[in-house]
Structure 1
Amino acid sequence: MPRPRKNASQTEGEADPGLLGLPAALIDMIDPALPKTSQVYGIMRHAIVNLHLSPGSSVNEKLICDQLGISRTPLREAILQLQSENLVAVIPNSGTYVSRIDLQSVFDGQLVREALELKVVRLAASRMTPQFERALDFNLHRQHRMWSDHDYTEFYKLDEAFHAMICAFGASAYVWKIINSAKAQLDRVRWMSYPLVSHLDVVLKEHMAVVDGLKQRDPEAAA
Structure 2
Amino acid sequence: MAQATQLGERRTSVDDIFDHLHQEILSLRLRPGDKISEADIAAQFGVSRQPVRDAFNRLATLDLLLIRPQRATEVKRFSSREIAKSRFVRAAVEREVLRRAAQYCDASGAAELDAALAAQDRAIEDNDVDRFGALDYEFHKVLCHIAQADFAFDVIMAEKSKVDRLCILSLSKGDRMPELVADHRDIAEAVKTHEPEGAVESGMRHLSRLDDTIEQISVTNANYFEREQVRGT
Residue in structure 2 matched with residue 113 of structure 1 by the alignment: 90
Q: How many residues are aligned here? A: 200
Which of the pair is proportionally richer in helix?
A: 2
Give the partner amino acid of 1:117: E
Q: CA deviation at 1:99?
A: 0.7
Contact 1:142 1:158 (C-alpha < 8 Å) held by counterparts: yes
**Cα distance in 2, alignment partners of residues 177 and 200 from structure 1:** 24
Contact 2:144 2:153 (C-alpha < 8 Å) held by counterparts: yes
Q: CA deviation at 1:36?
A: 6.4
Contact 1:89 1:98 (C-alpha < 8 Å) held by counterparts: yes
Unpaired segments ≥5 residues, structure 2: 201-233
Residue in structure 2 matched with residue 220 of structure 1 by the alignment: 197
Give the partner amino acid of 2:170: S
Residue in structure 1 matched with residue 59 of structure 2 by the alignment: 82
**Cα distance in 1, alignment partners of residues 87 and 21 from structure 2:** 22
Q: CA deviation at 1:158?
A: 0.9
Residue in structure 2 matched with residue 177 of structure 1 by the alignment: 154
Residue in structure 2 matched with residue 161 of structure 1 by the alignment: 138
Q: CA deviation at 1:165?
A: 2.8
Tell me how large the CA RMSD over aligned residues is. Answer: 2.9
Give the partner amino acid of 2:93: L
Farther-moved stretch of structure 1 (36-45 vs 194-203): 36-45
**Cα distance in 2, alignment partners of residues 31 and 222 from structure 1:** 42
Residue in structure 1 matched with residue 117 of structure 2 by the alignment: 140
| TM-score, scaled relative to structure 2 | 0.71
2:44 aligned with 1:44, yes or no? no
2:169 aligned with 1:196, yes or no? no
Q: CA deviation at 1:118?
A: 1.5
Q: CA deviation at 1:156?
A: 1.2
Output aligned runs, 1:13-28, within 5 Å. Answer: 20=1
Unpaired segments ≥5 residues, structure 1: 1-19
Match of 1:129 among 103, 106, 128: 106
**Cα distance in 2, alignment partners of residues 168 and 70 from structure 1:** 40
SS at match of 2:34: coil
Query: What is the percent sequence identity of the aligned residues?
Result: 26
| TM-score, scaled relative to structure 1 | 0.74
Contact 2:15 2:55 (C-alpha < 8 Å) held by counterparts: yes
